[in-house]
C-alpha cells in the first residue's frame, strides 16, 4: 500500500478551514481518485506537545492507495483539479511525501 501525505506546516497566522477540507475537499478527492485505487483518506490536526510547544504541522492529509502506478495515473488525470482546490481551504503550501506502508 502507498501512502500519499500532504503536510501543512504550522504557522500562527495560517488559514486552514478543516470543515471545508472534510466536507468538500476530501469527498472530491475520493470521487476523483477512487477509481485509481484510493482506499481511504483522512485528515489530522496538529495539537500542542505535552510541554505546550506548537505542533510542527497544522494539518496532515493522508491518502492510502493500492499501488504507486494507480496513484500516478490518478494524479495525471485529476491532479490539477485537486491542487486548484487548495486555496479554498488554506493559504499554506503543502509538502507532499509518498511512502510505502509496511505494517
CA distance 71 to 55: 29
pLDDT at 41: 96
15 pLDDT tier (thresholds 50, 70, 90): very high
CA distance 61 to 3: 10
pLDDT at 57: 97
CA distance 103 to 86: 30
CA distance 39 to 82: 17
Longest Cα–Cα distance of the chain, Å, equals: 44
pLDDT at 50: 97
Q: What is the pLDDT of residues 24-79, one digit of tens each?
A: 999 999 999 999 999 999 999 999 999 999 999 999 999 999 999 999 999 999 99
pLDDT at 14: 96
Mean pLDDT of 7-12: 96
Proportion of the chain in helix, strand, coil states, percent, rounded to 5: 40, 30, 30
CA distance 88 to 84: 8
The whole-model pTM stands at: 0.92
8 pLDDT tier (thresholds 50, 70, 90): very high
Confirm if 17 and 45 have CB atoms less than 8 A apart. Answer: no
Angle (CA) 94-99-103 rounded to 5° is: 130
Amino acid at each position: 500500500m502507498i501512502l500519499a501525505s500532504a503536510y501543512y506546516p504550522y504557522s500562527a497566522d495560517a488559514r486552514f478551514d478543516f470543515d471545508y477540507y472534510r466536507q468538500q475537499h476530501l469527498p472530491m478527492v475520493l470521487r476523483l481518485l477512487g477509481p485509481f485505487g484510493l482506499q481511504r483518506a483522512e485528515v489530522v490536526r496538529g495539537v500542542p506537545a505535552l510541554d505546550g510547544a506548537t505542533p510542527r504541522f497544522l494539518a496532515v492529509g493522508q491518502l492510502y492507495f493500492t499501488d504507486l502506478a494507480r496513484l500516478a495515473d490518478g494524479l495525471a488525470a485529476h491532479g490539477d483539479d485537486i491542487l486548484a482546490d487548495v486555496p479554498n481551504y488554506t493559504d499554506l503550501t503543502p509538502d507532499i511525501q509518498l511512502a510505502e506502508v509496511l505494517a
